[in-house]
């Protein structure tokens, strides 16, 4: 399962804007990849003034077509450059990075076909959950709650093929007005295992809401190397971490997905 990390050559096959500041890019790679939901790649801007990789979560990967889909938010100069990349553009990304969600373990803890998993996605934390929803839906019941700023939603309908989907928006223009947890309360949604990806306040709230249930959180942190060497992207852990023997796990290697009770957020 642990494939070698390397620079992987890719060609842009499709790039489109799917919501305000949100872009979907399809990259074709000749070589077959082994990808788990929740893993990410490091995409590099071309400009020589920008050196560092942009860690971008993998939305989906289809082995049969060789298409790796990234859905990202334009946040600064690097991602702005990506949004301008056209079909045929050649690049090389660093991959495949991070641990990803342990799909088998999650499905098993949920109780398999008779159980259920509740997915929480907030903003740009939504994309990696799509592949997770797909893989989990083959093993257990999946319910998804997605939080957006406004009614300008994205990926929403793609989630619907894997189970019921509820939404929450900050301005109330689509679904429940408020947070993903407001949507849970309003709709009486439940789940045996919880998985979440999104802004830290949301992750914190989901962790609290889990109340003893198994819960997996995907964290985000500023990175430099993406492979565990520079120790920039650490998060606080409850246990002594294996690498530095303090309480700092590396989000890029031990994460980005952590069991909620292992991290302090």
* Of 83, 178, 248, 261, the one binding other proteins by CB under 8 A: 248
CB 149 → other proteins: shortest distance, Å?
17
Tokens of 229: 């060497």
Q: Which is nearer to other proteins, 48 or 211 (CB)?
A: 48
CB 219 → other proteins: shortest distance, Å?
10
Count of positions on this chain that bind other proteins (CB under 8 A): 35
For residues 256, 257, 261 and 263, what is the CA-based torsion angle, rounded to 10 degrees? Answer: 0
* Of 35, 183, 205, 223, the one binding other proteins by CB under 8 A: 223
CB 235 → other proteins: shortest distance, Å?
8
* Of 18, 138, 229, 259, the one binding other proteins by CB under 8 A: 229
* Of 41, 145, 210, 233, the one binding other proteins by CB under 8 A: 233
* Of 30, 31, 48, 211, the one binding other proteins by CB under 8 A: 48
- For position 265 contacting other proteins by CB under 8 A, the verdict is no
- For position 106 contacting other proteins by CB under 8 A, the verdict is no
Choose the stretch contacting other proteins; rule: CB under 8 A; options: 49-57, 66-74, 114-122, 190-198.
Answer: 49-57
Q: Tell me the CA distances in angstroms from 147 to 23, 47, 126, 191, 252, one per residue in order.
A: 17, 33, 8, 17, 25
Taking CB under 8 A as the criterion, which residues in 7-46 touch other proteins? Answer: 7, 44
Which among 149, 152, 134, 128 is positioned nearest to 55, based on CA atoms?
128
- For position 259 contacting other proteins by CB under 8 A, the verdict is no
Which among 110, 165, 97, 100 is positioned nearest to 138, based on CA atoms?
110
Around 260, how many Cα atoms within 13 Å sit in the side-chain half-sphere? 23
- For position 232 contacting other proteins by CB under 8 A, the verdict is yes
Give, as one character, the DSSP assignment of residue 247: S
Pair 219, 256: CB distance under 8 Å: yes
- For position 182 contacting other proteins by CB under 8 A, the verdict is no
CB atoms within 10 A of CB 184: 22
Q: Tell me the CA distances in angstroms from 70 to 43, 47, 82, 221, one per residue in order.
A: 10, 20, 11, 18
Choose the stretch contacting other proteins; rule: CB under 8 A; options: 23-31, 61-69, 185-193, 245-253.
Answer: 245-253
- For position 94 contacting other proteins by CB under 8 A, the verdict is yes
Choose the stretch contacting other proteins; rule: CB under 8 A; options: 2-10, 99-107, 162-170, 197-205.
Answer: 2-10
CB proximity list for 57: less than 8 A, separation 6 or greater? 38, 39, 40, 70, 127, 128, 197, 218, 256
- For position 174 contacting other proteins by CB under 8 A, the verdict is no
Q: Tell me the CA distances in angstroms from 126 to 5, 57, 63, 121, one per residue in order.
A: 25, 10, 21, 4
Q: Which residues of the chain form contacts with other proteins (CB under 8 A)?
A: 4-7, 44, 48-53, 78, 94, 221-235, 243-248, 253
């Amino acid at each position: 399962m642990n494939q070698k990390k390397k620079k992987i050559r890719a060609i842009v096959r499709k790039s489109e804007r799917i919501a305000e500041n949100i872009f979907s890019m399809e990259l074709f790679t000749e070589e077959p990849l082994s990808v788990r939901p929740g893993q990410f790649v490091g995409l590099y801007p071309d400009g020589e003034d920008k050196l560092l990789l942009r860690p971008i979560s993998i939305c989906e990967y289809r082995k049969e077509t060789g298409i790796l889909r990234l859905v990202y938010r334009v946040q600064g100069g690097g991602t702005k450059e990506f949004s301008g990349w056209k079909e045929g553009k050649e690049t090389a990304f660093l991959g495949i990075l991070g641990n990803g969600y342990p799909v088998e373990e999650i499905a098993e803890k949920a109780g398999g076909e008779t159980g259920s998993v509740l997915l929480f996605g907030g903003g740009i934390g939504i994309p990696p959950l799509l592949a997770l929803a797909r893989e989990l839906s083959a093993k257990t019941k999946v319910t998804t709650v997605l939080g957006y700023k406004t009614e300008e939603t994205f990926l929403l309908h793609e989630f619907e093929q894997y189970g019921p989907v509820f939404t929450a928006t900050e301005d109330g223009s689509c679904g429940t007005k408020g947070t993903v947890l407001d949507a849970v309360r309003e709709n009486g949604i439940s789940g045996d295992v919880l998985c979440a990806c999104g802004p830290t306040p949301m992750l914190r709230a989901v962790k609290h809401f889990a109340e003893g249930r198994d819960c997996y959180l995907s964290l985000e942190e500023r990175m430099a190397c993406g492979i565990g060497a520079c120790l920039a992207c650490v998060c606080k852990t409850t246990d002594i971490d294996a690498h530095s023997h303090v309480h700092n796990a590396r989000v890029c290697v031990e994460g980005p997905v952590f069991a909620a009770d292992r991290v302090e957020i």
